[in-house]
Chain A
Amino acid sequence: MADPILQIKGLEVAVEDTPILKGVDLTVPQGEVHALMGPNGSGKSTLAYALAGHPRYEITAGEVLFAGQDLAEMEADERARAGLFLAMQYPVEVPGVSVMNFLRTAVNAARGEEVPVREFAKLFREASKQLEFDPSFADRYLNEGFSGGEKKRHEILQMALLKPRFAILDETDSGLDIDALRIVSEGVNHLRGPGLGVLIITHYTRILRYIKPDVVHVMYEGRIAKTGGPELAEHLEEKGYVEFGSAEAALAPR
């Protein structure tokens, strides 16, 4: 059997010397969709940022192998070029850099060569249509003045263009209305398959009705507290995280 795309063993991560992850073990075989659930503050987003290589998130112990490569040895851009994608919860605004300029630069970096202008235009057009992303945004500055939904669509658009092998969706569902959630989920479902594994990080089960996970993990206080099938998500929907010690009983989004 091929290497799992993601293999995390005993991972400990600190942010400014405060330990957040306290020994995470998690394996995602190539092409599977896993959900990572848990109450606020359990360390879900920390795991996402640590995997993507944010310099503030320091790996203090353990190991992360991405397609057999040691992630800790790689800069954030090297991880991205190796096929790791993070759809961010709060996409950053970069004034003065147009969406088109950014996307071309990113696609060129991912491919290691200049993508011909016409080919790129075609890719952009198709992906925009699929995600109902307004193509006139091409001339807008990166994430500047985008609504929450537009930012999330734009994240998934990037995923479609960069064709990663593995994508982490960090609370992509937060701040999305039901139509936007449906469109974004359809976009992800369109891309998922043997070539793309996904880790969906979410507080709520709502997005999992659209993107069906193969495996569900629950994170609590910096560790994986439970792993199960899709039924685990339904269980959490009813019971909340109380059994893990959390005060949060109800899971329905406000």
Chain B
Amino acid sequence: MDFVVSHYNYLIAIFLMMTGFYTVISRGNLVKKIVGLNIFQVSVFLIYISLSTVKDGVAPIYVEGVKVYSNPLPHVLILTAIVVGVATTALGLALVVRIKEAYGTIEEDEIHSQDNSL
């Protein structure tokens, strides 16, 4: 039980990761796949943020008399990764719009039955 309490952030991240991954694989709806992909990416962001915590550390802003700061680098990295995630989602949704125009549906199996391409 101690393990669960002390590692709850990682457990949440793993739960989200599996949820997202499962959604990407199992759902036939192209928008839902992208939602799953987003959840999957966010879980990775959480892992990074968890890594940056330093025990008894404060936010990495200079304050008189404080010796221990959390590691700011993962936050910066994740800021970049969030931007990448936004770009990916935008491109993915744009593709879904075009697919809807071309096929009249965004269900994987219906697209597949139209020309065996997905």
Question: Does A associate with B in a complex?
Answer: no
